[in-house]
Amino acid sequence: MSSYIAPAENISKAWLHTLEHVVEAGGHAINVVSTVANPLAPEDLPIRSAIDHTLTEGYRHGIRIQSVDTVAGTIFPHDLYADTGLTYRVGIDPEDVAKLDASAADLYTAYGEMLPILATDTANSRGTYFGRMVSWPGKAAGGVNQIADRITRLRRSFDTNTARRNVEDIAVGGEAEFGDDVVGLQTYAADDRRERGFPCLVHVDLTLYQRRLNMSATYRHQYLVTKAYGNLLGLSRLLGFLAKHTGFEVGELMVVATFADAEQGTYTKRGVAELIAAARTGL
């Protein structure tokens, strides 16, 4: 049965409430909808400390464990982005627009230069999330930059005072077809028989409503301990980047997990219960 988690004020509480719900449901749940009302709100330190302490990099029962920031960087490489402190706005000075665009271009270039190295990791054999967003299909630089295209489209909406519209999707999973207007139409290869694996994140959608930019993301399999917190952090940073470069306010972030996994097989029921207890300390 599908589950709707009440909207949380920040990514920390959204993650914790979702994990608690899935644990109460027996460790697994389908079609779980989690919402962050303010994705850029400060994180809760007790919750972040608990998950950071749990995610010791290395391998656990054959599962590769990465830090929260490493996982977040697969969606938005925050460390490669030099924030100018500027925000796109009505009547913005052309020189400031140039600075904004240069900071984004530097990010795309830096990541493109890293792609050959990232591709040597077996986990990235089919590309990376951010690589697919800025250089589809994501294995090398020079592909279709969906992020740059979405910024162009969103600025057009901002300049014409458009308050409501869907701004298409950002293809991540399957295949995508791009026409002259560079709109990504996400499809799936007929010969793709993979039951599980990259990408778990298959769809990102952007929607304008009341001059706020909202994001929804769909995961085939959401690993709630090893991946989910980092995924929320990366998505929130990506949404903040898009809002800064297009002038819109940051709206809500919604994540749909078609299959949510509390990973009690990897961390044991006791281990996950201890994680939740530690996250609740000080709240």
Cβ-based neighbours of 113, under 8 Å, separated by 6 or more: 141
With bands split at pLDDT 50, 70 and 90, how would you rate the model's confidence at 27? very high
Mean predicted lDDT score pLDDT of the chain: 88
Q: What is the pLDDT of residues 194-227, one digit of tens each?
A: 444 445 898 899 999 999 999 999 999 999 999 9
Domain of 133, CATH number, reads 3.30.572
Give the pLDDT confidence score for residue 193 in this predicted structure: 38
Q: What is the pLDDT of residues 117-149, one digit of tens each?
A: 887 776 665 668 999 999 987 777 889 999 999
pLDDT tens per residue, range 60-73 = 888 889 999 999 99
Confidence band of 162 (pLDDT split at 50, 70, 90)? confident
In the chain, how many domains are there?
A: 1
CA distance 274 to 218: 28
Max alpha carbon distance in the chain (Å)? 57
Predicted confidence at residue 171, as pLDDT, reads: 66
- C-alpha pair distances (Å), 118 with each of 80, 138, 216: 14, 11, 26
Show the CA angle centred on residue 252, arms to residues 186 and 246, nearest 5°: 70
Question: What is the structure's pLDDT at 180?
Answer: 47
Coil, strand, or helix at residue 260? strand
pLDDT(182) > 70: no
Residue 198: strand, helix, or coil: coil
pLDDT score recorded for residue 31: 98
- Taking only the tens place, the pLDDT of each residue in 87-106 is 999 999 999 999 999 999 99
Mean pLDDT value of segment 144-171:
85
* pLDDT of 152 higher than 60: yes
pLDDT of 175: 52
DSSP string computed for 88-151: --TT--HHHHHHHHHHHHHHHHHHHHHHHHHTTSGGGTT--HHHHHHSBTSSSTTSB-HHHHHH
CB 215 within 8 A of CB 254: yes
pLDDT for 198 equals 42
**pLDDT value of residue 120:** 76
Query: Using an 8 Å Cβ cutoff, are 63 and 266 in contact?
Result: yes
The whole-number average pLDDT for the span 158-179 is 68
Distance CA 157, CA 50 (A): 41
Q: Rounded to the nearest 5°, which phi and psi values hold at 193?
A: -105, 15
To which H or E segment does residue 206 belong? Answer: strand 201-209
Q: What is the mean pLDDT of residues 176-203?
A: 50
| Spatial distance between the Cα atoms of 139 and 272, rounded to a whole number of angstroms | 35
| Structure confidence at residue 126 (pLDDT) | 62
Q: Is the pLDDT of residue 236 over 50?
A: yes
**Segments forming the whole domain that contains residue 147:** 3-280
pLDDT per residue over 73-90, tens digit each?
Answer: 999 999 999 999 999 999
Percent of the residues in the chain that have a pLDDT greater than 70, as a whole number: 86
Residue 173 pLDDT: 54
* Statement: residue 57 has pLDDT above 60: yes
Q: Does position 181 have pLDDT exceeding 80, yes or no?
A: no
Question: In this predicted structure, what is the pLDDT of residue 168?
Answer: 60
